[in-house]
């Protein structure tokens, strides 16, 4: 028996690059958080501190900034460009993963018209892209995090098994709230209109959450994923993580008050956590695409 180095990777995390396009008076802005990881043969660095194979994380950072000089484009495109560059830079580097968070900005309205160079940042929700290049293969996961949604009705929860540890009452009308994290994988080689598809997926998630009469958060999750796959044939699978942000009806009877579904307490912890994949049954799995991406898989 010997002790050996197993799977490993390294890179530069959270490069905060902002790029401005001033080619017209109507400026545009991209605001990204870029993390890169390299895969390949870096054994000597681990076992004897020999760095001759180590493309430094500082150089990875420099590359992110240098590549932004010529325009960034969509998060997916920027990720592809960087991951292909890193994976092809040295013989011993076999692959790269580039994860991008994109923060949204909208123009400040002045006198009813969007301003040319002044912006307000959207808070909360973040657009994401994770690109993995392995040799000649490239995988693209698009996604979003922290899309917080709530329905004040149209949600039930009943029919579950009852045993010694079950105290929950059944309900036929409750608040349903969650913070959606979704990541969807495009077919290998697909080159869709990344921005339009992102917007379309986001709309499908929102609309389906709103219009699905839900008997379980699982049902909402599945319906949302199914709507995405139905609308976008380029998407092979979608994975979602949806914490159940519990809103408990507050008992006011001690104060001589009823509470006809009016007053709720929003709880922090614990929370239900529903995680699932919706996929096409004819699509090969691609675990490499998901490696290193936090999630249930």
CB closer to a second copy, 137 vs 156? 156
Query: Is 46 one of the annotated active-site residues of the chain?
Result: no
- Which contiguous run of DSSP H or E holds residue 230? helix 217-231
CB closer to a second copy, 191 vs 207? 207
The interface with a second copy within residues 32-61 (CB under 8 A) comprises: 35, 37, 42, 45-59, 61
Q: Phi/psi zone of residue 169: left (φ > 0), alpha (ψ -120 to 50 degrees), beta?
A: beta
What angle is formed at CA 135 by the lines to CA 134 and CA 138, rounded to 5 degrees? Answer: 50
Query: Is 57 one of the annotated active-site residues of the chain?
Result: yes
Is the previous residue joined to 270 through a cis bond, with omega within 30 degrees of 0?
yes
Q: How many residues bind a second copy (CB under 8 A)?
A: 147
The reply to whether 296 sits near a second copy by the rule CB under 8 A is yes
The interface with a second copy within residues 237-256 (CB under 8 A) comprises: 237, 239, 243-244, 247, 250, 252, 254-256
The interface with a second copy within residues 100-139 (CB under 8 A) comprises: 105, 108-111, 115, 117-125
Q: Strand pairing of 126-134 and 93-102?
A: antiparallel
The interface with a second copy within residues 183-212 (CB under 8 A) comprises: 206-207, 209-211
d(CA 237, CA 103): 24
Residue 83 near residue 96, CB atoms below 8 Å:
yes
The interface with a second copy within residues 6-35 (CB under 8 A) comprises: 6-22, 27, 29, 31, 35
The reply to whether 172 sits near a second copy by the rule CB under 8 A is no
Q: Which member of 8, 28, 53, 57 is catalytic? A: 57
The reply to whether 288 sits near a second copy by the rule CB under 8 A is no
Query: Is 246 one of the annotated active-site residues of the chain?
Result: yes
Residue whose token pair is 């379309």:
200
d(CA 61, CA 253): 60
The residues assigned a catalytic role are 12, 57, 246
């Amino acid at each position: 028996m010997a002790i050996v180095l197993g799977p490993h990777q390294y890179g530069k995390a959270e490069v905060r690059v902002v790029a401005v396009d001033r080619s017209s008076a109507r400026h545009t802005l991209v605001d990204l958080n870029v993390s890169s990881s390299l895969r390949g043969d870096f054994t000597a660095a681990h076992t004897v501190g020999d760095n001759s194979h180590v493309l430094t994380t500082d150089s990875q950072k420099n590359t992110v900034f240098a590549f932004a000089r010529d325009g960034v484009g969509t998060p997916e495109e920027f990720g592809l460009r960087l991951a292909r560059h890193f994976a092809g830079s040295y013989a011993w580097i076999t692959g790269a993963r580039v994860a991008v968070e994109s923060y949204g900005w909208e123009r400040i309205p002045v006198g009813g018209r969007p301003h040319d160079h002044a912006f307000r940042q959207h808070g909360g929700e973040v657009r994401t892209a994770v690109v993995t290049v392995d040799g000649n293969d490239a995988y693209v996961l698009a996604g979003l995090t922290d899309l917080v949604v709530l329905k004040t009705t149209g949600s039930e929860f009943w029919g579950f098994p009852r045993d010694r540890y079950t105290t929950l009452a059944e309900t036929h009308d409750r608040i349903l709230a969650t913070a959606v994290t979704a990541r969807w994988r495009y077919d290998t080689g697909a080159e869709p209109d990344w921005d339009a598809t992102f917007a379309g997926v986001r709309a499908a998630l929102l609309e389906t959450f709103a219009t699905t009469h839900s008997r379980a958060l699982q049902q909402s999750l599945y319906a949302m994923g199914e709507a995405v796959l139905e609308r976008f044939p380029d998407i092979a699978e979608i994975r979602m993580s949806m914490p159940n942000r519990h809103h408990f009806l507050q008992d006011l009877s001690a104060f001589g008050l009823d509470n006809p579904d009016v007053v709720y307490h929003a709880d922090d912890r614990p929370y239900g956590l529903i995680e699932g994949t919706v996929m096409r049954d004819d699509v090969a799995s691609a675990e490499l695409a998901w490696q290193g991406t936090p999630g249930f898989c």
